[in-house]
Every structure is written in C-alpha cells, then in structure tokens.
Chains A and B, each alone.
Chain A
Amino acid sequence: MNHVFGLKVGPVSFRIGSQWRGPVAALRRLYAGYPEPDGVCDFTVRLEAERIWRRWLRPSVAIRGDYVLPDAAPLPLAQGLLAAEMGMNLQMALGQKRFLLLHAASVERDGRALLLTGHSGAGKSTLAALLGERGWRFMGDEFALLDLEDGRLHPFPRAVSLKNESLGLLNGMDPGRLGPVLEGTPKGTIRHLRPNPEAVARMGEAARPVLILFPRFGRGLEPAVREVGAAEAFMRLTQASTNYVALGERGFDALARFVGALPSKAIDYADTAQAEALIDDLWPAA
C-alpha cells in the first residue's frame, strides 16, 4: 500500500491504505483537523486494484480490508473518496463489537442526545447535519454507538454524505469543509461535508440519550407526531443494527434498557424547518 492515512473518529480508529494517491489526498483534506490514531487501529481498509492492470487502465477501486463483501462492485478511481467511506462503513457494519451499532444519526444539546433512526432516504443525515449547524452538537449521521455498559451514546462524527436534493443544504457552507462533487455514483450525485469544528473537538464526549425519533420525510406530508410503542421501537432498532445478533445477551439487555427508558416518536415532515419545529416541541425540558 503506497499511500496510507490514519483516522480517529470518536472511539474508533482506521488505517486506510491505497494504491493510488488521489483517495488518500482527498481523505486528508476532508478530515483536516481530525486526530490520528494513537496505538493500535480498530480496522484496516484497503483500496486496491481488482486486477493488476486495473491500477492504471480505467482504474477501478476494489474496497477491501479486515472485513469484505465478496461480491462488492469496484468504483471508478474518481470516486475513490466514496470507496474509502464505504470501506470504513463496511468495517463498522461487519466488525464493530465493542458498542451496539444503530443505523441512526445523533445530535446532542444540554448534555443530552437525540437519536434519529429510520430507512435510508428518511432524511436523517440531512436533518442531523442541519441541526448540527443550528445549535446542536453533531454526533454522527450513519452510525450511533450505544455503550453496552452505561447506555450512553458515543459520537462517531464521520463526514456527512449528502445526496442529490440535499446538496442544497450546502449553499453558504465554508467550502473548506466540502469534499469533491462525485457524480454518477450508485446513489447519484454525492458530496461530503466535514462536521463543524465543535463536533470534531468534542468527538470524545459521550452523551445520555433522552429521545428516539423515527423521522419520515415527504414533500406532500403534513407535519405530524405519533407515538411509537417500545416493542415496535425495539424491533425497528434491531433491524437497523448490524451487530445486534453478534452481541448476544449484552446487546439484548442494552437495547431493552434503551427503549424501555426513553420515549419513541415518529415524525412526518415536508421540509427541514418543520422538522426542527417538531423536534423543539418534543425536546424534553432539562
């Protein structure tokens, strides 16, 4: 691996190796200001050519590392940064065993955390990024890390991947926080946004969660709030977790405590201003 980059995000550190200079250079710029791993890295990601000639001829990046998806299609070199991000996600999804992983975004205010969970496209990345610019501390948009012992959420503030329509959110953003525009990816046009300096500086501070939200975004939706039963929340969260089964009884206990202790609500919204208003209403008094 000719080009190497080390990255620490919250409690997890990555060693990323690449056969090409480009992806590592892009990572360095996107993650400027992030700490380096000290000591051992939790995971290794490799960006490499699938066939020897693919290093130079229409170069395409196979995503490999400690944990791999056997049939994963390689990406063109121009999307090398995306490959690195997907590689890190894959290591977390398949290899993370120290925390219960929830496919969710999280933000913090007054020392208490809000969890936003739901299908892809429900808008949680965009919402979390937006809240992070409006007085909340951004903790993560892809994975929430639930502590198995004390039930707190640990930040995992990777770059936010914004797609297609959400790209409008980036207008007026400091360009130094933005990654390159990546067109023609499997998910359309993507651009990455580095979390703001406060989120980066405080990536080591866990927070006690107080509310679980299932946001649903749709242009025609009326803003609404619905109760979600604890059993339903439990089921939906296990479906949103890649490592629940591997964690056995500890995962069961942590998740049961989590949904048992916190209110769960579903919110419908048609634009982010509505979502913000609903969240402000629901946010419990300190």
Chain B
Amino acid sequence: MAASRYAADPPDAMRRVELEGLTLLYHRTSGLTHFLAPPAPEILDALAAGPASAAEVAASIGERFEIESEDPAAAIAARLAELEAAGLVWRT
C-alpha cells in the first residue's frame, strides 16, 4: 500500500514574515494566520516542489538540516498531521 502523499499550496498563496526564529504565516487561501516553528516552514518549502510522502519530505529536509529526533520520519509525519489539521497541507 502506497504511503499518503501530502500537498501544499504554492508559495505565492502564503505570505511569510520571520520574527526571531518563528515564522508568521498569512495563508491567503484561508485568510488565517499561523505561527510556525521549524521544521514546519521547511516542510512547506519541501512541498513547494510538488506532492510528497512523509518519508520523502523527511529525506529532503534531512539533506539540508539535522532533524533532532530518534525517528525523523515519524517526527515529520507528526508535523504533517498538524499542518493538515491547520489546513496548510492536505493528502492527495
């Protein structure tokens, strides 16, 4: 069974402002404002290239950052679930 693939709006649907380590994000599609901490903004960046599974996103992020976790893929999957509940990401 194939793993779920996640998708996000393209970058121009979001307006981001960095304020001391936190990302303030205005999501144009919903009109909602979100506060994101790493790795959430990095996950959205990874999905800008197209839909991907949790493992693929973890791998992509892992190339540029160190994910502090015993199980990076699970940590990324948990963040993806949060982003999905917030409406920033959905499963295709």
Contacts and interface: CB of A to CB of B under 8 A. Distances in A.
A234 B17 CA distance: 11
B31 A253 contact: no
A231 B15 contact: no
A249 B17 contact: no
Interface string A263-282: 00000000000000000000
Interface in A222-259: 229-231, 234-235, 238, 244-245, 248-249, 252-253, 256, 259
Contacts of A252: 15, 17, 24, 26, 33
B15 A234 contact: no
A33 interface: no
A176 to B, nearest CB: 45
Contacts of A231: 19-22, 24, 35
A5 B15 CA distance: 44
Contacts, number: 35
B28 interface: yes
**Which bucket holds chain A's interface residue count?**
10 to 19
Looking at chain B's contact residues, is the secondary structure mostly helix, strand, loop, or mixed? strand
B75 to A, nearest CB: 22
A253 to B, nearest CB: 7
Interface of B: 15, 17, 19-22, 24, 26, 28, 31-33, 35
Given A244-B33, A252-B15, A252-B33, 15 more contacts: A229-B19, A230-B20, A231-B19, A231-B20, A231-B21, A231-B22, A231-B24, A231-B35, A245-B31, A249-B26, A252-B26, A256-B17, A256-B19, A259-B19, A260-B19
